[in-house]
Amino acid sequence: MIIKKKQSVKLWILVAVIVMFWIVGTGFYRDLSANSAETYKGLKLFSDVIELVEKNYVDPVDTKKLMQKAIQGMVHSLDPHSSLLPPEAFEELQIDTHGEFGGIGIVITMQKGILTVISPIEGTPAYKAGMKAGDKIIKVDGKTTRDMMLWEAVKKMRGPKGIIVVITIMREGSSEPIDFKLVRDIIPMESVKSFVLKPGYGYIRITNFRDNTTNDLADALKELESSDISLKGLVLDLRDNPGGLLNQSIDVSDLFLEKGIIVSIKGRLKRHTKIFRAHPDEIKRNYPIVLLINGGSASASEIVAGALQDHKRALVLGTTSFGKGSVQTVEALRDGYGLKFTIARYYTPSGQSIQAQGIVPDIEVRQKFTDMEDPDEGEDVLFKEKDLKNHLDAEPDKINNSKREPIDKENGKKKPEIHHQRSMHGPLDIEELRSDNQVMRALDILTGYEILKGAGGR
C-alpha cells in the first residue's frame, strides 16, 4: 500500500507539471509555433527528399556533401555575398585579412571560368620565376583546375615555406603548357604603396583593406609629409580595390576627416544599425586630394570614397564603382564551418545607399591603355553588383534614384565599362604612372589648384 501510494503521488505530480507547461507554453510560444509551422513542413520535406535519394538514386550518394550543397543553394538564393564556408574556405577567409602567409605570390581571379593570374607580387617565387599577368593556370601539382572553386585553388597553392608546388599554365603566344616548379615562401601582403609623382605631390595606392592597412597608410603619409618640400596634393588610388575589413575603411577615412559621419549601416535588427563618426586628428591634413575609383572598387573602397566625397574632402575621379553596399558577418558553425551572410546596408554621410548604385565620380575619366595590346583581345565587360543574380536593392522594397551624375560624359550616354587586367599588385613604376591617364589627370587637377590658389593670393 505504501509503495502504491507513493507511485500515485508521483503520477499526479507528473500530470500537474505537464499541464502547467502546456498552459504556460501555449501562451509563451504561440507566436513561435505559428511562425515555425512552415519551417517544420519544409524541414520534413527536405528530410523526405534526402531519404528517398539515399535509398533509391542510381548511384550511391555522399549524404554529407548533398546536404552541404543544399545549404549552399539556400544561402546563395539570399544574395551573391552570402555563403556556407567549408572549413578550408573559412580558414582561407581568415588568412586573407592578415598580413602574410606561405605561398607562391600571385593574385588570381576566375575569368570566364578559367583560373587567371592578375599579377605576380613583386619579389615572390612566382615573380622571380617569370609568371605573368594573363597566364591561365590549368593545373596545380598535376591536378586540373577545371571546375575548381577559387578558394580551392588558393588552398592548393598556399602551404608551408620551403615546400615545392608545380603550377602549369597556358600563355598567349605559347602553343605548349609551361610548368613552373616553385618553392613556397612567406608572402608579405602590402596593401599600401606610395610614390612621389613630382616634388610636392604624392601618390598612394591601397590594394585592399587588411588588419594593418591604416597603420601602413599613416606611415606612408608621414613619409610624404616629412619631405623637404611640403605636400601640396595627394592622389589616393583605390582602383580595383575589392574591399576588406570594415574597421579599416573607417579608420582610413578618419585619417583625412576631422568630424562628421563616415558611414552608417542599417539592418533589420537594432544591433545591426550603427553610425561611425570621425575624430579630430593630431596631424592636420589640409592638402587637396584626388581619389581614383573604377568598377573594380568595391565595399570598403566605396566607404572611403563616399565619405571623402560627401565631406568635400576629396575630388573623386574615374568611373562608377562596383556598388557593393552590403555588410556581411561570418559566424562560426560546428565542425569548422562558417556562415557568411548579409546583415545590413552601407550608407554614405549624405544618406545615399551604395548598394547596387556605386559611388559616381565627380569627374568621369575612363582609363586609356597605351600598350600594344589589341583592344578587342582579352577584354571583359566588368560586371557590377547590379548585374549579379539575387543582388539586394539599394533600399528595402525600393530603388534609390538619388545618384549624382559625373561632370564628364561621353556623348551623353553611359557606356559599359571595359575592364583591363592591369596589375595593382606589382611594383610602382614611375613610367607606368606617367602613362596612366587617370593618374596624370589627377595630378593636373592638383597642380592647377595650387596655381589658382597662388594666383588668388596675390
Catalytic amino acids?
299, 310, 324
Sign of CA pseudo-dihedral 411, 413, 416, 421: positive
The number of residues in the chain equals 458
What is the number of other CB atoms lying within 10 angstroms of the CB of residue 339?
17
The SS3 of residue 443 is helix
Contacts (Cβ under 8 Å, ≥6 apart) of 172: 134, 378
Amino acid at 320: T
**Pick from 302, 349, 295: which is nearest to 326 by CA?**
302
3-state SS string for 227-268 = CCCCCCEEEEECCCCCCECHHHHHHHHHCCCCCCEEEEEEEC
**Unique residue bearing C-alpha cell 589640409:** 286
Q: Exposed/middle/buried for 77, CB within 10 Å: 0-12, 13-18, 19+?
A: exposed
**Unique residue bearing C-alpha cell 573607417:** 250
**Pick from 306, 290, 295, 205: which is nearest to 242 by CA?**
295
Record the cell numbers describing residue 271, joined without a space.
544591433
